[in-house]
Amino acid sequence: MERRAYQSYISSKQIIALTMEKIKFELTHENSVAKIILQNGKGNILDSGMMKDLSEAFVEIKKLKGIKLITFEGSGNHFSFGASVEEHTKENAPSMLKGFSKLFFDLIDLSIPTLAKISGQCLGGGMELAIACNFLFCDATAKFGQPEIVLGVFAPVASLILPFKLNTAVSNDFLLNGRIFSADEVKTSGLVNEVYENKEALEAGYEDWLEKNILPKSASSLRFAVKAANFELNRILLEGLPKLEKLYVDELMESYDANEGINAFLEKRKAVWMN
């Protein structure tokens, strides 16, 4: 798909909208909000192509000093079904993990408040992107889950973020049971800020929250506040992700069951574990 950039000449030549292959990036609210829409089929799969597009969007955002908030949402009825299972195979896992981890390192480097707006399924790598945000808003259709364990693997980013943000019982329910949580359950857990009746109510609630809580503030001061508020979580991610990548590639993907789980999913059959 051809990439198209539309320029605004009101002040400097700032990017107003950049349509890429698998995301749409635009500036709203007088260029103070960077809006990123995931658009990769029905499930908005977070594959290597989308990771590349997101990295390019982050490069553009870093050039803009007036950004006060980055938002993520999915096109259609779902936020994201997660990362590409095809890219989790043994030969593809090392590059996939490095590209995925880079997204979170880039967000740490940007140090801008982030918000995810969730409708429908928010699973796997999609949920990891969402829970890395400072704020999560969802509607009643939202379903959250880290089902990686069902495929015989684990979620590196979620394995670091969920124990930090949730109590042990709920974190383990996500990571070790792979259970899918409803919007109300996730609200009770404290993982999301607000649950709205539908997508329209979510958007209206977000706009009201934005006008009251983000737009009146200094973009520069918000960045310092994010560095401070995320200080401990950022340390955990920066130190922990390389270690979990190594555990995943050097040990997990050398096991029979991890490869069996991925292959069984791709072949649409039940996995036969050797334990």
* pLDDT score recorded for residue 1: 35
- Tell me how far CA of residue 144 lies from CA of 9, 39, 125, 141, 260, in angstroms: 41, 19, 11, 10, 25
Q: Are 103 and 67 in contact (CB under 8 A)?
A: no
88 or 237, greater pLDDT: 237
- Tell me how far CA of residue 237 lies from CA of 18, 20, 145, in angstroms: 29, 28, 20
Confidence of residue 126 (pLDDT cuts 50, 70, 90): very high
* pLDDT score recorded for residue 12: 39
Q: What are phi and psi of 137, to 5 degrees?
A: -115, 140
- Give pTM, 2 decimals: 0.92
Question: Cα(206)–Cα(191) distance, rounded to whole angstroms?
Answer: 17
Confidence of residue 15 (pLDDT cuts 50, 70, 90): low
- β-strands 143-145, 114-118 pairing: unpaired
pLDDT tens-place string over residues 60-103: 999 999 999 999 999 999 999 999 999 999 999 999 999 999 99
At 273, is the secondary structure helix, strand, or coil? coil
Give the H/E segment covering residue 19: strand 14-19
- Tell me how far CA of residue 160 lies from CA of 24, 132, 200, 233, in angstroms: 28, 10, 32, 8
Give the count of beta carbons closer than 10 Å to the beta carbon of residue 271: 16
Question: pLDDT exceeding 70 applies to what percent of the chain?
Answer: 94
> Which domains does the chain show, CATH number per domain?
4-198+219-266 (3.90.226.10)
pLDDT at 9 over 90: no
Q: What HEC string does 78-137 produce?
A: CCECCECHHHHCCCCHHHHHHHHHHHHHHHHHHCCCEEEEECCEEEHHHHHHHHCCCEEE
Confidence of residue 7 (pLDDT cuts 50, 70, 90): very low
Provide long-range contacts, Cβ within 8 A and 24+ apart, for 87-91: 87/47, 87/48, 88/151, 88/153, 88/262, 89/259, 89/262, 89/263, 89/266, 90/253, 90/259
pLDDT tens-place string over residues 40-59: 999 999 999 999 999 999 99
